[in-house]
A and B are shown apart, each in its own frame.
Chain A
Amino acid sequence: MKHIQLKLIHIVKVFVILTMLFLTTACWSSREIEDLRAYLGIGIDVADETKFEKEVNMLGGHYPKKNILTATVQVVPGVYGRSDQSQNTGSQTPETFFNEKLTGDSIFQIFRQFSLRRDRPIIGHHLKVVVVSRALCEKYGLEKILDFFLRDNDIRPSALILISQEKAMDVLSSSQPGEIPALNLKGLVNNRHRTNRILPPVSLSRLEAYMQSKRSFILQNVITAENEIKFSGAAIFKGEANQWIGQLNQTDLESISYISGTAKGGVLKTYDPENGQSIVYEVKSADSVITPKVEGDKISFHVSMRTTGEIMEDWSEPDRLVDEDYMNKLTTLFKKQCQKQIDETLYKLQNKYRVDVVEFGNQLRIDHPKVWNRVKDHWDEVFSTAPITYDLEVDITDYGSAIH
């Protein structure tokens, strides 16, 4: 009897273990990557219903919503056989990406609407770029527009934020076959060692910090023409409301890179006053120290800037041997040019837009925390009346491989 009982227990044990095997081998709620699509870029515009949507609405496919924005979602991989450019190869090559546009008043709902149209679900883990159109930013604060992106747990806070001067959906279209516009945009910010007309990249997490601190800030601006894009200047957002208030141009960005010492490369061009020919200097590095001065209630700033670089092109006197004299002349010329740019930019910031987007406030916060706590709620106003002085040093360390 006991023998049989033991045997029974043994069988039950084996059975339990075998059943458990079924539980251990599976991946819960796994989804095959082949069955998914990832969105790499998103463009957000003021509502502009597409022809498809208008027709669908006429046929009764409308759901309760206000038309506030149109989201363009850049999805990879593309759809087979959709490509128009593949005729020359003969074979059916897939389009590298496709853009979907839908209108509504909630970005999340718009995303879910895609599931009514495409078989493969789109996932947000690989979002690289969010482009918001200037027109929408003038109407709504960025905090509202981007709220979904900051909440969603798939989307990484490393995604880049850009502002498009015209339509965001155009920024995400490209005429280059094989190129994915979202990746191109993401890659462009790596060119900061070539030009100081690109702002240091602002990711979602950095933007969140900006918005939480209620300070004013600038974001990279993109313009489109003829189906091509170009980084150009920056959009200014004012504190509290996070709304678009104006724009800085490319030269302003150069000035800002000198003032904040963030330039990693770039071109400084001036003209010889005698013959009007261009002379070009390549910025290799820049350094700056912003010193806030507080006397009673008066806050002022002094900025010491220094840039080093080399002469890269000289149309004025290409044959001239470089000597002390000529070097001094060039240094003065470049310095003058640089000062002119910086003066223009500071004037624009202090008198036209009246916002601090160059970290002056940040330096005050660090050096005089008590004073900062007193003025931080109306910092932009205080900044716009604060006197700013600066000294600038332009170092020419080299003149390329040409000795003359």
Chain B
Amino acid sequence: MSNHPKDEISTVQAAVIIISYMLGAGVLTLPRTTAQAARTPDVWISVIVAAVLVILAGLIIVHLGRRFPGRTFFEFTREIVGKWIAFPLVITVIGYFLVISAFETRVMAEVTSLYLLEGTPMWAIIMVFMWIGFYLMNGGINSMARLFEVILPITLIIFVIIILLSLKVFEFDNLRPVLGSGVMPVLKGIKPSFLSYAGYEILLVLLAFMNKPSKGNKALILGTCVPLGVYLLTLVMVIGGLSVDGVISRTWPTLDLMRSFEMQGLLFERFESLLLVIWIMQMFATFTITHYAASLGLAQLFKGKLTLFLLILLPINYIIMMLPKDVNTVFSMGDFLGNCSLVLFGGIPLLLLIVSVLRKKGVKPK
């Protein structure tokens, strides 16, 4: 036994990382984006269907990763398709992680400066976020997993309690009729649900760190089902409380639901700040894990020190984050990321898997 613990994570930790990555800005906007696409209250079905599709896509990623034990996507792609195809592909995936990291931080900053810290300049909010994140990421994937293990239960418990408080304005009729306009609206709602499930792709990196990579499927399914539960609860409560018509025009519908009622006689009357505070922790998790993945990718690609790339990417991340001029551009950035994720992690892992089997690269998982 060596004195230096290996940077290794357990199956549960892997699941926790996937959950913490998935839960992020999505919860705050999901009711609007899906309702805008579907225009019916059936979007909760879309979220379930999307979860199933995500698990399917994730299984392919796990299968692919298990052919190359101990190595990440950034390393094994080269072996499968050769240097010339692998390089742009890896760079694109790194770019994706970086942009999603920037997107998540920007959304956090937008919401915080709108509802919590009006007047605090955005750079100040982000700076704190980034430096603490850097400190955490420098500790390696194991430290991150440990932190997420602490904040995830807190988030989930507080979230469930306060979202259930909105039963006060809940109206079941707002969720009816089920499938009133057929299945088309449900299908339309699937695509916007995808961005909120962005996160399973981290398995491309994560699998290499797992002490039991054979349990990758378990981590994936657990990691998708918890966010599914959170999203279902959110959609049902937000649409039940505000109705489809009321959701479409609100920028942050989940926060507006919390702002739509006041509880008298409880310790607090208002709960949106509490929701926001715990949610910032989840956004922080998403930010760190994606930033880490991007830096790790670069470090492995150019065979440099991880700390160096973590630092180099911080200002780049900040610049990307500040590119969108207003909140609408931020949202289109989100849509763009959703599309990218669809192409990058829905299609390419399957192609890579086929090629690797055909060219007999990697080992056959037992």
B237 within 8 A of A: no
Q: Are B243 and A213 in contact (CB under 8 A)?
A: yes
Give, as a whole number of angstroms, the nearest-CB distance from B188 to chain A: 16
A351 within 8 A of B: no
CB-contact partner of A208 in B120, B176, B246, B261, under 8 A: B246
| Count of CB-CB pairs between chains A and B under 8 Å | 70
A206 in contact with B246 given A156-B270, A365-B180, A369-B180 (CB within 8 Å): yes
Give, as a whole number of angstroms, the nearest-CB distance from A373 to chain B: 7
Q: Are A366 and B115 in contact (CB under 8 A)?
A: no
Q: Are A28 and B119 in contact (CB under 8 A)?
A: yes
Which chain B positions have C-beta within 8 A of A29? 117-120
The answer for the CA separation of A317 and B118 in the assembled complex, in Å, is 67
Which chain A positions have C-beta within 8 A of B180? 365-366, 369-370, 372
> Binary interface profile of B, 255-290, with partner A (CB < 8 Å = 1, else 0)?
011011110000000100000000000000000000
The count of chain A contact residues (Cβ–Cβ below 8 Å) is 24
A158 within 8 A of B: yes
Q: Are A209 and B243 in contact (CB under 8 A)?
A: yes
The answer for the CA separation of A206 and B241 in the assembled complex, in Å, is 9
Q: Are B245 and A369 in contact (CB under 8 A)?
A: no
Which chain A positions have C-beta within 8 A of B181? 369-370, 373
Residue on B nearest A359 in the bound complex, by CB: B173
Q: Are B249 and A157 in contact (CB under 8 A)?
A: no
The answer for the CA separation of A383 and B245 in the assembled complex, in Å, is 21
Q: Are B248 and A366 in contact (CB under 8 A)?
A: no
CB-contact partner of A28 in B120, B250, B256, under 8 A: B120
Give, as a whole number of angstroms, the nearest-CB distance from A209 to chain B: 3
Within 8 A of B (CB), among A211-264: 212-213
CB-contact partner of B256 in A157, A362, A372, A373, under 8 A: A157
Give, as a whole number of angstroms, the nearest-CB distance from B62 to chain A: 40
The count of chain B contact residues (Cβ–Cβ below 8 Å) is 29
Residue on A nearest B261 in the bound complex, by CB: A158
Residue on B nearest A29 in the bound complex, by CB: B119
The answer for the CA separation of A153 and B251 in the assembled complex, in Å, is 11
A209 in contact with B245 given A366-B176, A369-B177 (CB within 8 Å): yes
A285 within 8 A of B: no
Give, as a whole number of angstroms, the nearest-CB distance from A251 to chain B: 26
Residue on A nearest B252 in the bound complex, by CB: A153
A205 in contact with B118 given A156-B270, A366-B176 (CB within 8 Å): no
The answer for the CA separation of A203 and B124 in the assembled complex, in Å, is 35
B61 within 8 A of A: no
Q: Are A205 and B176 in contact (CB under 8 A)?
A: no
Q: Are A205 and B114 in contact (CB under 8 A)?
A: no
> Binary interface profile of A, 188-213, with partner B (CB < 8 Å = 1, else 0)?
00000000000000011110111011
Which chain B positions have C-beta within 8 A of A157? 256, 259-260
Q: Are B120 and A209 in contact (CB under 8 A)?
A: no
Q: Are B176 and A153 in contact (CB under 8 A)?
A: no
Q: Are B177 and A213 in contact (CB under 8 A)?
A: no
CB-contact partner of B118 in A153, A158, A210, A367, under 8 A: A153
Q: Are A366 and B120 in contact (CB under 8 A)?
A: no
Which chain B positions have C-beta within 8 A of A372? 180
> Binary interface profile of B, 166-192, with partner A (CB < 8 Å = 1, else 0)?
000100010011001100000000000
The answer for the CA separation of A369 and B42 in the assembled complex, in Å, is 13
Give, as a whole number of angstroms, the nearest-CB distance from B128 to chain A: 9
The answer for the CA separation of A372 and B176 in the assembled complex, in Å, is 13
10 A-B pairs closest in CB distance: A209-B246, A369-B180, A29-B119, A212-B245, A213-B245, A205-B260, A28-B120, A209-B243, A366-B176, A156-B259
Q: Residues on B close to A: CB < 8 A?
A: 114-115, 117-121, 124, 169, 173, 176-177, 180-181, 241-243, 245-246, 248-250, 256-257, 259-262, 270
* 14 residue pairs from A and B, CB less than 8 Å apart: A29-B119, A154-B118, A157-B259, A158-B262, A205-B169, A205-B250, A206-B169, A208-B242, A208-B250, A210-B245, A212-B245, A212-B246, A213-B243, A213-B245
Q: Residues on A close to B: CB < 8 A?
A: 28-29, 153-154, 156-158, 203-206, 208-210, 212-213, 362, 365-367, 369-370, 372-373
Q: Contacts A158-B262, A205-B256 known; list 14 others, CB within 8 Å.
A: A29-B119, A156-B259, A157-B256, A157-B259, A158-B259, A158-B261, A203-B261, A206-B246, A212-B245, A213-B243, A365-B177, A366-B176, A367-B177, A370-B180
